[in-house]
Amino acid sequence: NDFKLIYKHQASNNKNMQSIIFKSFVILLVSHLLIESVFANKFEHFYREKGLSQATVSSLLVDQNGYLWVGTNDGLNRFNGYDFEVFKANDNVKDSILASNITTLYQDTEGVLWVATVSGVNTFNRKLNTFNDIKVVNEHLGKTEAKVIKINEVSDNDIIFATDKGGFTFDKQSQTISEINISHESTGKISTLFKAKETLWASLNNGDLGYLEGTRFKTVFNGFDVTNAFISLEEELWLGTVNGLV
């Protein structure tokens, strides 16, 4: 009798275990199918066959008119939700973009689209569908052999450029350039720009993190090799770094 009771108990346990395994398998299968369905419905891939000029995307921006601008290594793309219009450098076309390799995009408070390329900076003329050569900025970039990494603005009149050789501001009204004065304690060059409320923050390639006061950089922290930044709805500053999230 004892043997029968033990056997029945073991058989019951085996059935329960089989039931648990079966239910777990069903749950995992359904979860996988649901996730696959969600991602299949949410994501759509765009590549050359669908009109994108090149597959390596360097920058994205939605302008004040709702167009999506896509900077790539071979062309600037404007997407209206259906089709891509591609802009490339062309020596035979007057007022074309300076180069097809786009490094970054920025729209200022006046709605002007700034386009940085490996050969210099343009602004986009929406009425004529052409590009303006910002001669003062490009002459300065040419002298220093610098490439623009990020663009932002200190004020409505002053545009700031972070390059691989340092940072400078451009006064739109006077058409003049002012170098960013890095504090003597720091030896880094500006690599990232981001705005928190009305304060323009910058990170340097030596790990310094601080803010700009006019054309002076004030170091606040050290040891943050920042790659990206985000201000949350709770107005918390989140930093993406090469060593994780801060």
**Pairwise CA distance, residues 127 & 111, whole Å:** 13
Per-residue pLDDT of the chain (246 residues; tens, 9 = 90+): 444 444 444 555 555 555 556 556 556 655 666 666 555 556 677 777 778 898 899 999 999 999 999 999 999 999 998 999 999 999 998 899 999 999 999 999 999 999 999 999 999 999 999 999 999 999 988 888 888 988 988 788 889 888 888 788 899 999 998 887 765 555 667 777 777 777 778 777 777 887 877 777 788 877 777 777 777 777 777 777 777 787
Residue (of 92, 58, 98, 90) closest to 77 by Cα position: 58
The token pair that represents 105 in the structure block: 């995009």
* DSSP-derived secondary structure letter, 67: P
The three-class DSSP label of residue 62 is strand
Residue (of 132, 127, 112, 98) closest to 69 by Cα position: 112
